[in-house]
Amino acid sequence: MKQKIIDNIKTIFYALVIAIVIRSLLIQPFYIPSSSMEPTLLVGDRIFVTKYTYGYSKHSFPFSLGPIKKRIFFNEPERGDIIVFKTPSDNRTDYIKRLIGKPGDKIQFINGNLYLNNVEILKSKVKSKMEIHCGGEVLKTKLFEEKIKDNKYLTAYNNFGSYQNSDEFVVPDNHYFFLGDNRDCSKDSRFLTSVGYVHKDNLVGKAQFIFFSSDYSIGSIFSFWKWNKSIRFDRFFKKII
């Protein structure tokens, strides 16, 4: 009996070690709790993030308790990547946004248009009218496709509001500038006191694909009689771009 208990404890211990190694070094699931990345990511999406894409830092480990002081095996992220990072304000909260500016880049909004290094980001209108969420509200907005080099992605915003025109943001060394795809409803690097520029050590990993999605406003996962409406089967295993 005693040996059986010891064997069970060993099994649980080994399983925990394997789980921690996979979560820290390979891949980690994340839940999308807000609408700041609509239409790319919806509230209720569950995604896989690869931890090895940009190398490792202490934030690669659970509770940011890694033994690493600085990032190792670093690979430079690409503009347009969707990245999970720890917010600079507390080095604890996970945010997910799209990378727009790299070290030395200049970012500015002029008449509602996004400029990178004094060049307007190419965009084309996909929809003149669409609805998008912002917390508990529904906003009427426009849908655009933007292009940075070879990366094309969808963003939603109106050509007015607090960021129709902005000061010029200059990204410091070893830092990055992020924006949400839901431009009118995203707390991101535009807000220097709460998010601002993100240090490379705060990068957690790259969002790769959605493995599950459910609209919890319709019903919980336990409400199986509502699965035909609440579970978004069309988003399963969808690559994130």
For residues 86 and 92, is the Cβ–Cβ distance under 8 A?
yes
Place of tokens 């993030």: 49
Given the residues 51, 86, 97, 206, the one annotated as active site? 97
Q: How far is it, in rounded angstroms, from Cα 135 to Cα 17?
A: 38
Q: Is 97 a catalytic residue?
A: yes
Q: Which two tokens stand for residue 208?
A: 């790769």
H or E segment and range at residue 148: strand 137-148
Order of strands, edge to edge, in the sheet holding 106-110? Answer: 119-120, 113-116, 106-110, 169-170
With contact defined as beta carbons under 8 Å apart, do 78 and 101 qualify? no
Closest CA relative to residue 99, chosen from 235, 23, 27, 207: 207
Burial class (CB in 10 A: 0-12, 13-18, 19+), 11: exposed
Is 200 catalytic? The answer is no
Dist. CA 230–CA 137, nearest whole Å = 19
Q: How far apart are the first and last CA of the chain?
A: 53
Given the residues 24, 35, 36, 214, the one annotated as active site: 36
Give me the DSSP letters along 80-140: T-EEEEE-TTTS--EEEEEEEE-TT-EEEEETTEEEETTEEPEEEEEEEEEEEEETTEEEE
Q: Which residues are catalytic?
A: 36, 97
